[in-house]
């Protein structure tokens, strides 16, 4: 995604001030490389926003709208993404270790090489997402619709998927929901 696809550049401080004043709609903003670690941005709309390479560790983005956002290489370690809608978002190479993504929508998302170790993905939906080389070791996947394209993906039990169709059939037989 090039910068032309995104709106004006905002600093982390400007976003936090406007959010504190009651504004919630920040569609298409450019927050590339911003540091919003530990911020509470519950219910914010960051659809189509650029957040690549940002530090969002420990952030509260519960019920946030993140569809079509660029979150590539973003640090979301220990982030609260409960109920977030991130359909069609780019989370490639993102750090989501220990993040809570319970009930998150991640349909058609790019999750390639993302680190989900020890994350909670309970009742989330990853249908038709690209998960090649993603790491799901130690993830909680209760009720998760863990569907999509998995090649060389590390599964919650530590096994590595090798051929998407064969692994999908095996996982169904083991109780995963696709």
Could you tell me the mean pLDDT of each successive run of 10 residues in the chain, 178 residues long? Answer: 66 98 97 98 98 98 98 98 97 98 96 96 92 92 79 79 58 52
Which among 35, 29, 27, 36 is positioned nearest to 10, based on CA atoms?
29
Tell me what pLDDT residue 4 has.
52
Tell me what pLDDT residue 48 has.
97
Tell me what pLDDT residue 75 has.
98
Domain tally for the chain?
Answer: 1
Question: Rounded to 5 degrees, what angle do the CA atoms 99, 86, 79 make?
Answer: 20
Tell me what pLDDT residue 2 has.
45
**Domain ranges, residue 75:** 1-178
* CATH code, domain with 35: 2.160.20
């Amino acid at each position: 995604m090039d910068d032309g696809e995104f709106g004006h550049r905002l600093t982390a401080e400007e976003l936090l001030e406007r959010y504190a004043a009651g504004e919630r709609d920040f569609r298409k903003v450019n927050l590339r490389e911003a540091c919003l670690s530990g911020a509470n941005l519950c219910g914010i709309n960051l659809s189509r926003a650029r957040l690549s390479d940002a530090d969002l560790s420990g952030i509260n983005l519960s019920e946030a709208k993140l569809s079509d956002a660029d979150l590539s290489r973003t640090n979301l370690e220990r982030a609260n993404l409960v109920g977030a809608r991130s359909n069609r978002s780019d989370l490639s190479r993102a750090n989501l270790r220990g993040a809570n993504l319970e009930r998150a929508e991640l349909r058609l998302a790019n999750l390639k090489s993302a680190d989900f170790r020890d994350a909670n993905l309970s009742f989330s939906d990853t249908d038709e997402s690209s998960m090649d080389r993603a790491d799901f070791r130690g993830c909680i996947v209760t009720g998760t619709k863990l569907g999509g394209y998995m090649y060389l993906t590390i599964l919650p039990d530590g096994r590595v998927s090798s051929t998407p169709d064969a692994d999908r059939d095996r996982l169904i037989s083991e109780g995963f929901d696709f």
